[in-house]
Amino acid sequence: MKRSAVLSVILLSVLFFSCHRRKPDEKGVQVMAYYYTRWQNFTPETLPYDKLTHIIFSFTEVIDGEMKFPEDTLGLMLKKLVKQRKNHPDLKIMVACGGWAGSKGFSDMAMTDEGRKKFVESVLKFIKEYDIDGLDIDWEYPGLPGDNNPYSPADKENFTKLMCELKTGMNTICDYLVLSWAAAGWEMAFDFIELDKVMQCVNYVNVMSYDLASRSDPYTSHHTNLGLIQMEDIEGTPAAAKMIEEGDSTKPFSTEKIVNYLLDKGLNPAQIVIGSNFSGRAWQGVPPDNNGLYQLNRGSWRGRAGYARLREEIENKNGYVRYWDPVAKAPYLYSAKDSVFITYDDTMSVRLKTKYVAEKGLGGIMFWQLGADAPKDGLVDAIYAEKKRHKY
140 is annotated as an active-site residue: yes
Q: Which CATH number is 25-279+346-389 given?
A: 3.20.20.80
With 0-12 CB in 10 A as exposed, 13-18 as middle and 19+ as buried, what is 318? exposed
Gap between the Cα atoms of 35 and 329, Å rounded: 26
What pLDDT sits at residue 67? 98
pLDDT in tens, 244-270: 999 988 999 999 999 999 999 999 999
- pLDDT tens column, 152-202: 999 999 999 999 999 999 999 999 999 999 999 999 999 999 999 999 999
- Output the CA angle 264-210-154, nearest 5 degrees: 60
pLDDT (tens digit per residue) in 119-157: 999 999 999 999 999 999 999 999 999 999 999 999 999
C-alpha distances (whole Å) from 204 to each of 18, 102, 195, 321 are 21, 21, 12, 37
Q: Which residue, 59, 54, 55, 67, is CA-closest to 26? A: 54
Q: Which pLDDT belongs to residue 3?
A: 38
Q: Which of 61, 66, 140, 315 is catalytic?
A: 140
Cα–Cα distance measured from residue 238 to residue 109, given in angstroms and rounded to the nearest whole number: 43
Q: Where are the domains of the chain?
A: 25-279+346-389
Q: Across the chain, where does the E strand assignment appear?
A: 30-36, 54-63, 66-68, 92-98, 134-138, 178-184, 204-208, 272-277, 281-283, 320-325, 330-335, 340-343, 364-368
